[in-house]
Structure 1
């Protein structure tokens, strides 16, 4: 009989988290220290984790920091950001401070509208199927609104239907989009349930076979826009401004640069989305798809020089976030972070998130156009390296300071510095 570890752990889902952890430890020869770390990390929170995900064994914490200096639509706001990456929060604070004099960030939005798709196959001429669907719009409205009467009661519900004929490798398909106002919910459960309820009726009316019934994360009807002006003196002069514009034009023209440029934007966006218990994967998928809407992958942001010579940045992207449902109401840290933000609607939260993304983009471009991204990033990373090699207390700052002075943030150097510090103190 083989003693090789197996991933076939029958009945794991029926065990308690503690029993699961022991089962995993046995299969992976996990040491006592690692088991202890997993137990400690989940202390007081394992029951919640067990309700949120399947086969829970522990909890992994992400640091939550506060972005300061943000003014969004005339309101000063402190913004919680959940991220493990050094320099992200500091960059937002710096960028926001530099545009406070011009009023900070001004936003607009298209409202909390989501769409779900129902895929129809066959049924004859797809354009004929398309028209048959449009003829049933009143019945479609009734079916969708009956699924979620509470949503209708608070002012949301079915708004419209959009039917497209999509050419594919197996021939044309008729794709029905149901358009729904989801109010303060992200809306996935609501629109998915409506699509499920509607699909059999669409088949009955059109003679086509319904297959996929699910929301689209390309939430291009739920778009938020943020704009800000950075005065020339806050940027560092004309040369820095022009270098930043060149960096933007590079990103807008080249998908290799755009991928990293847009990742910088998402550093800020995803940190706030995560901190508030929203779906980071949905937001990221929608954002990158939206950046490709012109047929090629481009910069999510837009930058220009205004008549006074200042730098003007804008960011427009889908932002399907909510204040009700999911982890936003269940997770205590998410609830606390929303309380810090002081937002009263999902739309207000979305506007703040996109503003953070624009601030992050400004900071990254300015760093690249001046000292380079590594100087600031590695200065903060030096502390992480000091922790990795085992520095504690004031040793962390001492090791980090020497690494920064050397201009080389490497683990081997940190180990040598720490050993010398401890030898000097012995």
Structure 2
């Protein structure tokens, strides 16, 4: 069958499903039914979701949960999390409970600068280009007044524009390196609009700059785009307590716990193979909150992993130490987040999540997200250096296995009790399940 189609985007949703299911599925009616099963019964709500992206056929559900009892800067939060991985929310909740009676989490935003760049090629005199830039820098900013007016009223806007010579890395390559403060907006559209205006003014002014020869006037703009690497938009979160308060009931003394914990962090500092998994655990917490609050988790992921390699080697995002008998564990993350614009004002669950957090500013949301990442890492390391990671993870995964086996509700209750004091593995669950069914 020919799987090529022209004008797919112009079809109605029903026609798109009809073509898709007829082309790719033997059981086309069953596939069509499944897609429609996830439509929202509220037609207006479904229309809203349909218009978020192109060629929408259905909704793809992820669990929306909360991790309660997070004490952050002396204020209690229930943190919304959207994620499919079992044990993540449970681990966050356990970490929150552990630190609630030990002073909780502290967090502060260190800086909020965001970056965009105009990338261009130029083959003339560097001295002339520098003089030209200094002459028109003010014009670049003033020509953006129609874009920046509202942002400036709220206290944000363009912070600076620099000319950067990158010809040592790529022949003829220069850039306008631009910094912004976008306040509570993530600011992607604002920054990109400013950058495109910069490039327009820059090339127009170059054509009439008398010091340039004809070749030098032909500045070639390659692209104008924000950067998701924001090393100067950083938040820090921390927990600390006297070593003796690290009282564990897992057969390990507080002193040994602190020593092994710091060793585990330091191993992730020097060993990239461990650091990737270490940081992935942090992102379990970060991404879940970023997604639940309608922010761009792909941008956050890219920026954070670049930050983890900023010294030329991929390394842990967290640090731990003991100073004067006090155990300290902290994280610094680059986070460009928004609480206005985009999905934050459109998606009903996003609006609910932000209301649950007290309608936070972007800075407050940065703090909550950093704490979620730190809590997740604490929970993971706590398990790794004591009972091991699989015991808790597989307990949470037990229901997934039972659902795959199509267990009844009574069977689920039975097996949750059965495996209370046993290590859960997939093969053991299947064997026990088959034996129970055989008896029945």
Class of the TM-score when normalised by the shorter of the 2 chains? over 0.9
Quote how far apart the aligned CAs of 1:174 are. Answer: 1.4
- Give the Cα–Cα distance (whole angstroms) in 1 for the partners of residues 110 and 132 of structure 2: 29
Q: TM-score, normalised by structure 1?
A: 0.92
Q: What SS does the aligned partner of 2:166 have?
A: strand
RMSD between aligned alpha carbons?
Answer: 2.1
SS across alignment from 2:94: helix
Give, in whole Å, the separation in 1 of the partners of 2:187 and 2:409: 46
* Structure 1 counterpart of 2:38: 41
Confirm whether residue 153 of structure 1 aligns to residue 170 of structure 2: no
Greater C-alpha Rg: 2
* Contact in 1 for aligned 2:80/2:289 (Cα 8 Å): yes
The whole-number CA distance in structure 1 between the counterparts of 2:103 and 2:275 is 28
CA contact (8 A) 2:230 2:334 kept: yes
Structural mapping, 1:210-249, within 5 Å: 210-232=221-243, 233-234=245-246, 236=248, 237-249=254-266
Say whether residues 1:198 and 2:217 are aligned partners: no
Shift of 1:306: 2.3
> CA–CA distance in 2 between the matches of 1:66 and 1:147?
38
Misfit runs of 4+, over 6 Å: none
- C-alpha distance in 2, partners of 1:382/1:73? 36
CA distance in 1 between counterparts of 2:408 and 2:150 reads: 53
The secondary structure found in structure 1 opposite 2:116 is: strand
The worse-fitting range, judged by mean Cα deviation, of 396-405 and 152-161 is 396-405
After TM superposition, give the deviation of residue 19 of structure 1 in Å.
2.1
In the TM superposition, residue 127 of structure 1 has moved relative to its aligned partner by 6.0
Deviates more, 1:76-85 or 1:297-306: 297-306
Q: Deviation digits for residues 305-356 of structure 1, max 9, x if unmatched?
A: 1212x32111111111111111111111111111111133111111110011
Deviates more, 1:268-277 or 1:104-113: 104-113
Of the candidates 367, 370, 387, which is equivalent to residue 371 of structure 1?
Answer: 387
1:418 shift after superposition? 3.5
Aligned to 2:24: 28
Residue 410 of structure 2 corresponds to residue 394 of structure 1:
yes
Q: 2:251: which partner in 1?
A: none
SS of the residue 2:337 aligns to? coil
Cross-structure match for 1:143: 143
Over 3 Å counting, the alpha-carbon distance change for 1:307 and 1:371 in structure 2 is: same
Superposition pairs of residues 380-419 of structure 1, within 5 angstroms:
380-402=396-418, 407-410=423-426, 413-419=428-434
SS in 2 for 1:175: strand
User: Where does residue 98 of structure 1 map in the other structure?
Assistant: 98
CA distance in 2, matches of 1:326, 1:204: 32
In structure 2, distance between residues paired with 1:179 and 1:51:
32
CA distance in 1, matches of 2:144, 2:343: 25
Distance 1:247-1:402 versus aligned 2 partners, 3 A rule:
same
Q: Which moved more, 1:338-347 or 1:131-140?
A: 131-140
Shift of 1:397: 3.1
Q: Per the alignment, do residues 228 and 413 of structure 1 end up closer, same or farther by CA in structure 2, a change over 3 Å counting?
A: closer
Q: What SS is found at the alignment partner of 1:398?
A: helix
- The equivalent residue for 2:269 is 252
Counterpart-to-counterpart distance in 1, 2:97 and 2:332 = 21
Query: Does the C-alpha gap of structure 1 residues 128 and 108 become closer, same or farther in structure 2, counting only changes over 3 Å?
Result: farther
CA distance in 1, matches of 2:289, 2:135: 42
**In the comparison of the two structures, how many residue pairs are matched?**
419
Q: Which residue of 1 aligns with 2:331?
A: 315
- Cα separation, 2, equivalents of 1:162 and 1:102: 46
Alignment-derived partner of residue 186 in structure 2: 186
Partner in structure 2 of residue 339 of structure 1: 355
- Runs of 5+ consecutive residues of structure 1 not aligned to the other structure: none
SS at match of 1:136: helix
Residue equivalent to 2:209: none
Higher alpha-carbon deviation: 113-122 or 96-105 = 96-105
Secondary structure of residue in 2 paired with 1:217: coil
Is the alpha carbon distance of 1:168 and 1:113 closer, same or farther for their aligned partners in structure 2, counting shifts above 3 Å? same
User: Conserved in 1, the CA contact under 8 Å of 2:143 and 2:201?
Assistant: no
TM-score by length of 2: 0.89
Q: Deviations over 1:245-290 (max 9, x none)?
A: 1111110001111101110110000000000110000000000011
Work out the CA distance in 2 between the residues paired with 1:17 and 1:379. Answer: 41
8 Å contact from structure 1 (residues 123, 209) kept in 2: no
